[in-house]
Structure 1
Amino acid sequence: MTAPAPRQLLLDLYDAAVGAVHPRNLVQDFLPPPPANGRTLVIGAGKGAAAMAQAVERSWTGPLSGLVVTRYGHSAETKHIEVVEASHPVPDDAGQKAAARMLDMVQDLTADDLVLCLISGGGSALLALPAEGITLAEKQALNKALLRSGAAIGEMNCVRKHLSAIKGGRLALACGKARVVTMLISDVPGDDPRVIASGPTLPDATTSADALAILRKYEIDVPPSVLAHLASPTSETPKPGDERFAGHSHHVIATAQHALEAAAAKARTLGITPYILSDGIEGEARDIGLMHAAMTRQVLTRGQPFARPCVILSGGETTVTVRGNGRGGRNVEFLLSFALAMEGAANVHAIACDTDGIDGSEDNAGAVYGPDSLARAAAQGVNGKHLLANNDAYSFFSALGDLVVSGPTRTNVNDFRAILIQ
């Protein structure tokens, strides 16, 4: 097969990665048998929750009902499972009301009943129910501060668990004696199910002291109500080994590794040798851009550690410490840093996109880069260094017409990066 032009090849790899982790291709393989006598209740939250609910309905053989909450614009058509849309990454009243309703729905279940919990990335913000004594406004302010701080997803979710009435295993405990089967699409490096969406149905190994230490580490202003809550025993989450989770099960049905392997398989069909660097890269997006650029230069000039032509694939979740006021997104910030470091080197093309189709809070999934990107920007008077300093990588790639706009994909295994070296 003749390989397409570099830009299209990279877009094809992204499409292959996203398609491999879409719920419609995965959920049916993990469904348990319907309960013999009880009812089946479906609950869940995340950017992929509605598509997961739709996939459950298409494969389920018995009666069911339920409620899932997803991000605005990420809904899917369902008949028996209600879909509520709410705000992400900062929670809103719609998410709070949905979480409260979900807790009400799981009351009075029996040992004959089955709860299917559908969890994907974004569920932590979407399933927002503050602990007693904490207001939604206070959680919103803390969430915004954490998002701007550069904290890793595991750190953010540790804090969220200990300020929640539903996360950190509390939703599962509210289900009483019912059997809880959780299916998860992982958006976290390492794929720890307890971290995905702050683990509403899984026991938690972190502590309230850990949460307070994270807030202090990033110098986040904490209101007295939050300090008082974290000092109280009631803020502690149920821990591993808790007998109340006996009989429950969980399945991580899609990960960044699955997406990268699908992209690698696609590259092979196009005659390009793929190399998966890692599925769990974390760190500042611009620093990760520099690291990828250094490796790319080594391939170009030394033929190490890979021979060209090749494509280097990586995933994970980078972070951005926001210091400017531009339009950003961690994937475009990575790519602009990479572009500036490559200085227009020939034979290098790249793509960086979020697999949920939304890079941060903008309307794009990410962007593509080519050897002529910096020259085309300079011809328009666009200064990439200034834009990067202002966390405004979106504007750089928008000016070039190089944004990737896919719309919501209804799944989420976080960052996808591919660097084509010819």
Structure 2
Amino acid sequence: MREKIRNKDVLLSHGDRESRRIVLDITEKTLRRLDAKERIKSIMTLDGDTLRIGIKEWDLSKKKNIYLLGGGKACNHMAMAVDEILGDRLTRGVAIVKIAEDTDVFNKTEVYVGGHPLPNEEGYRASRIMLDIVDRAGPDDLFIVVISGGSSALMSCPIDGISLADEIAVTDVMLKSGANIFEINAIRRHISQMNGGMLAKRIEARGAELIGFGISDAVASPPTGDIGVPYAKYRATPMGPDQTTLDDARRVIRDYDVADKLPKNVVDYLMSAGSERETPKAFPNNTYFLINTLPDSCRYAKEAAEEMGLEAHILTSFLEGEARDVGSVFASIAHEIQSYGNPFKAPCVLLASGEATTKIPDSGVITGHGGPSQEETLSFAIAAQKMKGACLLSIDSEGTDGTTPVAGGITDSQSYAAAQKSGADVYAALRGHAAYEALLKMGDVVFTGNTGTNLCDFNVMYVPKAE
């Protein structure tokens, strides 16, 4: 397996090097353990006509066609695992990914690069191909569907009367509104032919069987247990029952005062849609395997740190809020630890996962590129100047943060001074949501490419003893 963090040498060439080495090593070990390809291959085998997944078996001699459908930011690795195991038994596969890597190898799977966070034409075209495959299927067919976070944008196929341009506008407005992902999805799922269980509903209508592999990036998901045991409470995504309702969508439009910003035809539809337009709420005959959830990243990171002989603590796996505020809070915790030994004594590692957001009420202020993890670490750099050796890494665990090609950033107590020397104006970068350009100039962007997982934001901070 190739290194997950591809620019480690650059990141270790400056700043608080030992602190950086610690957080980078913990992150590398965590991402390796979360890799979806290895997770699926650990529970799925094919022996002749017998397909085994965990504790269940299927006789493939009774299946006419076997299809692989997938979407999400970790779909590359999920689809590769299924494609490799099934080999020539796979009739056809279609996967929609965010980034196509040169290391991706497929046998019978077509790969399309969809848009994220905003949908695009290629994702729409691939979704239409998937729906055509489903509409031609019959009761003797088997669908194996692999879904991770990001599928709502990547698998874009709006209902009749709403265009791709409308769906792009909806996503753009809602991402800048300050709404959380559950609230955003309440709107997106109810205007989609794919999301919110609509793909599964279509498969069910053809009488075909569905086996699903999922990664849950939802805040408040419990940690995984035995991933080889079917998960009865699987929810959301194109292949699972939806928790959001039309009433939720209407409430979000009102609460965030976006009726005048969203396309009029979308608002009119959501406000007038009847119960027959509701998303499906149950699929009792489908079989789901949940291979990772959001708390797993902190759990594995804690184990990695302890194996390195370090005391580690999970602050939260429910982290939400404005990204730059999160960075300041991390710095204040580091200050308390170094000054007074509260809530933990230094040296220690602190871990958190969740989904910080960046509210942009006026797009006119944007002067560059960025994402929540980069804004968080840039904010930390300002506040961490007095905590010698304190270091924070924050990444979007799937490998791309916001509108940038990097996973996130890493900063320490020396970073602000380094920014001044490099000519990077940290305050201006935060005001203009241009953290990427500032961190790139400082040599502090974390580059991973596709990681093979998708568990929202991952944060690790190391706090050494004060000298």
Judged with a 3 Å threshold, the aligned counterparts in structure 2 of structure 1 residues 222 and 400 are, in CA distance, closer, same or farther, namely closer
Q: Match for residue 137 of structure 1?
A: 165
Judged with a 3 Å threshold, the aligned counterparts in structure 2 of structure 1 residues 235 and 89 are, in CA distance, closer, same or farther, namely farther
Of 208, 211, 218 in structure 2, the residue corresponding to residue 188 of structure 1 is: 218
TM-score, length basis structure 1: 0.92
Of 186, 192, 198 in structure 2, the residue corresponding to residue 164 of structure 1 is: 192
Judged with a 3 Å threshold, the aligned counterparts in structure 2 of structure 1 residues 235 and 305 are, in CA distance, closer, same or farther, namely farther
Q: Match for residue 47 of structure 1?
A: 73
Judged with a 3 Å threshold, the aligned counterparts in structure 2 of structure 1 residues 66 and 234 are, in CA distance, closer, same or farther, namely farther
Judged with a 3 Å threshold, the aligned counterparts in structure 2 of structure 1 residues 41 and 328 are, in CA distance, closer, same or farther, namely same
Cα distance, 1:236 vs structure 2? 3.0
**Alpha-carbon distance between aligned partners in 2 of 1:172 and 1:135, rounded to the nearest angstrom:** 22
Q: Match for residue 178 of structure 1?
A: 208
Of 211, 214, 219 in structure 1, the residue corresponding to residue 249 of structure 2 is: 211
Q: Match for residue 240 of structure 2?
A: 202
Residue 106 (str. 1) matches residue 134 (str. 2): yes
Of 80, 95, 100 in structure 2, the residue corresponding to residue 68 of structure 1 is: 95
Cα distance, 1:299 vs structure 2? 1.2
Cα distance, 1:61 vs structure 2? 7.2
Percent sequence identity is 30
Cα distance, 1:120 vs structure 2? 0.6
Listed as ranges, the gaps of 5+ residues in structure 2 are 1-16, 45-52, 223-230
Residue by residue, what CA displacement relative to the aligned partner does 1:147-166 show, whole Å, maximum 9, x if unpaired? 22222111111111011112
Judged with a 3 Å threshold, the aligned counterparts in structure 2 of structure 1 residues 43 and 381 are, in CA distance, closer, same or farther, namely closer
Q: How many residues align?
A: 416
Of 329, 333, 338 in structure 2, the residue corresponding to residue 300 of structure 1 is: 338
Cα distance, 1:224 vs structure 2? 2.6
**Alpha-carbon distance between aligned partners in 2 of 1:124 and 1:79, rounded to the nearest angstrom:** 26
Q: Bigger shift: 383-392 or 188-197?
A: 188-197
**Alpha-carbon distance between aligned partners in 1 of 2:295 and 2:147, rounded to the nearest angstrom:** 18
Contact 2:99 2:450 in 1 (8 A): no
Secondary structure of the residue aligned to 2:144 is strand
Give the aligned residue type for 1:376: A
**Alpha-carbon distance between aligned partners in 1 of 2:386 and 2:420, rounded to the nearest angstrom:** 12
Residue 237 (str. 1) matches residue 278 (str. 2): yes
Residue by residue, what CA displacement relative to the aligned partner does 1:333-367 show, whole Å, maximum 9, x if unpaired? 11122222223421311111111111112121111
Cα distance, 1:168 vs structure 2? 1.1
Q: Match for residue 372 of structure 1?
A: 414
Listed as ranges, the gaps of 5+ residues in structure 1 are none
Residue 37 (str. 1) matches residue 67 (str. 2): no
Pairs within 5 Å for 1:4-403: 5-28=18-41, 29=43, 31=53, 33-34=57-58, 35-38=60-63, 39-60=65-86, 63-64=89-90, 65-74=92-101, 76-175=104-203, 176=205, 177-191=207-221, 199-220=237-258, 221-230=261-270, 231-233=272-274, 236-240=277-281, 242=282, 245-322=283-360, 323=362, 324-325=365-366, 326-403=368-445
Give the aligned residue type for 2:436: Y
Give the aligned residue type for 1:251: F
Give the aligned residue type for 2:308: L
**Alpha-carbon distance between aligned partners in 1 of 2:390 and 2:83, rounded to the nearest angstrom:** 44
Cα distance, 1:10 vs structure 2? 1.4
Judged with a 3 Å threshold, the aligned counterparts in structure 2 of structure 1 residues 382 and 49 are, in CA distance, closer, same or farther, namely closer
TM-score, length basis structure 2: 0.83
**Alpha-carbon distance between aligned partners in 2 of 1:278 and 1:96, rounded to the nearest angstrom:** 36
Cα distance, 1:195 vs structure 2? 12
Give the aligned residue type for 1:318: A
**Alpha-carbon distance between aligned partners in 2 of 1:344 and 1:392, rounded to the nearest angstrom:** 25
